[in-house]
A and B are shown apart, each in its own frame.
Chain A
Amino acid sequence: MTRRRRRPGAALAPYLLVLPGWLWLAAFFVTPVIVMVSLSLQTGDFIDGFRQTFHFGTYAHVVETYHVQLVRSLLYGAAATAGCALVGYPVAYWIAFRAGRHKSVFLFLLLLPFFVSFVIRTQSWNVVLADNGILLGPLKHLGLLPEGFHVLATPYAVIGGLTYNFLPFMVLPVYVALERVDARVLEASTDLYASRAQTFWRVVLPLSLPGVFAGVLLTFVPASADYVNAGILGGPSTTMIGNIIQTEYFTNLDYPAAAALSFVLMGALLLAVFAYARALGTDDVLEVAAR
Chain B
Amino acid sequence: MTNGTVAPAGDTVAAPGPRTARRPRRRPALTLYTWLVLAWLLLPIAVMVLFGFNDTHSKVNFTWQGFTLTWYRHLFAIPNLTAALVNSLTVALVVTVVATLLGTPIGLALGRHRFRGRGSVDLLLFSAIAAPEIALGAALLSLFIVLGVPRGYWTVVIAHVAFCIPYVAITVRARMAGHDPTLEEAARDLGAGPWTAFRLVTLPALLPGVASGALLCFALSIDDYVITSFNAGRTVTFPLWVYSASRTGVPPQVNVMGTLIFVGGLVIAGANVLFSRRRAA
Enumerate chain A interface residues (CB-CB to B < 8 A): 1, 3, 11, 13-18, 20-22, 24-25, 28-33, 35-36, 38-39, 87-88, 90-91, 93-95, 98, 100, 103-104, 106-128, 130, 132-134, 137, 164, 167-168, 172, 179-180, 182-184, 186-187, 190, 217, 221-222, 224-228, 231-232, 242, 245-246, 249, 255, 258-259, 262-263, 265-266, 269-270, 273, 277, 282, 285-287, 289-291
In the bound complex, residues from chain A placing their C-beta under 8 Å from that of B62 are 127, 130, 132-134
Using A29-B136, A183-B14 as known contacts, say yes or no to A116 and B121 having CB atoms under 8 A apart: no
Cβ contact within 8 Å between A3 and B5: no
B132-183 CB contacts (< 8 Å) to partner A: 132-136, 138-143, 145-146, 158-159, 161-162, 165-167, 169-171, 173-174, 181-182
B219 at the interface (CB under 8 A from A): yes
Using A33-B139, A106-B34 as known contacts, say yes or no to A183 and B13 having CB atoms under 8 A apart: yes
Q: Which residue among B4, B5, B158 has the maximum number of chain A CB atoms within 10 Å of its CB?
A: B5
- Contact among B1, B113, B243, B255 with A111 in the assembled complex (CB-CB below 8 Å): B1
> How many A-B Cβ pairs are below 8 Å?
307
Using A29-B128, A127-B51, A277-B126 as known contacts, say yes or no to A35 and B142 having CB atoms under 8 A apart: yes
CA distance A226 to B19 in the complex (A): 42
Cβ contact within 8 Å between B124 and A22: yes
Nearest B-chain residue to A88, judged by Cβ: B37
Cβ contact within 8 Å between B27 and A265: no
Cβ contact within 8 Å between A98 and B102: no
| Residues of B contacting A: mostly | helix
Q: Which residue among A21, A94, A109, A182 has the maximum number of chain B CB atoms within 10 Å of its CB?
A: A21
| Residues of A contacting B: mostly | helix
8 intermolecular pairs with C-beta atoms under 8 Å apart: A115-B265, A116-B45, A120-B242, A133-B63, A187-B19, A190-B22, A224-B132, A286-B126
B127 at the interface (CB under 8 A from A): yes
Cβ contact within 8 Å between A265 and B18: no
Cβ contact within 8 Å between A110 and B41: yes
Cβ contact within 8 Å between B242 and A119: yes
Cβ contact within 8 Å between A110 and B142: no
B1-24 CB contacts (< 8 Å) to partner A: 1-2, 4-9, 12-16, 18-20, 22
CA distance A34 to B18 in the complex (A): 57
Using A24-B162, A183-B18, A228-B225 as known contacts, say yes or no to A289 and B167 having CB atoms under 8 A apart: yes
Q: B259 to nearest A CB, angstroms?
A: 9
B30 at the interface (CB under 8 A from A): yes
CA distance A287 to B130 in the complex (A): 13
Cβ contact within 8 Å between A116 and B165: no
B53 at the interface (CB under 8 A from A): no
CA distance A163 to B73 in the complex (A): 36
Q: A156 to nearest B CB, angstroms?
A: 15
In the bound complex, residues from chain A placing their C-beta under 8 Å from that of B26 are 98
Q: B239 to nearest A CB, angstroms?
A: 4
Cβ contact within 8 Å between A118 and B44: no
CA distance A230 to B246 in the complex (A): 12
Using A186-B19, A190-B22, A286-B170 as known contacts, say yes or no to A91 and B37 having CB atoms under 8 A apart: yes
Cβ contact within 8 Å between A35 and B41: no
Nearest B-chain residue to A267, judged by Cβ: B135
Nearest B-chain residue to A12, judged by Cβ: B115
Nearest A-chain residue to B169, judged by Cβ: A21
Using A32-B140, A224-B132, A285-B130 as known contacts, say yes or no to A231 and B243 having CB atoms under 8 A apart: yes
Cβ contact within 8 Å between A184 and B14: yes
Cβ contact within 8 Å between B143 and A31: yes
- Contact among B44, B131, B188 with A124 in the assembled complex (CB-CB below 8 Å): B44
Q: B40 to nearest A CB, angstroms?
A: 7
Nearest A-chain residue to B44, judged by Cβ: A124
Using A119-B225, A287-B174, A290-B173 as known contacts, say yes or no to A18 and B242 having CB atoms under 8 A apart: no
- Contact among B34, B109, B136, B246 with A123 in the assembled complex (CB-CB below 8 Å): B246
CA distance A157 to B174 in the complex (A): 37
In the bound complex, residues from chain A placing their C-beta under 8 Å from that of B121 are 18, 22
Q: Which residue among B14, B22, B45 has the maximum number of chain A CB atoms within 10 Å of its CB?
A: B45
In the bound complex, residues from chain B placing their C-beta under 8 Å from that of A217 are 130
Using A117-B239, A128-B44 as known contacts, say yes or no to A184 and B126 having CB atoms under 8 A apart: no
CA distance A172 to B178 in the complex (A): 21
Cβ contact within 8 Å between B7 and A104: yes
CA distance A109 to B38 in the complex (A): 7
Going nearest first, the 10 A-B pairs with the smallest beta carbon separation are A225-B132, A124-B44, A266-B135, A32-B139, A262-B138, A14-B113, A21-B102, A17-B105, A17-B109, A104-B6
B229 at the interface (CB under 8 A from A): yes
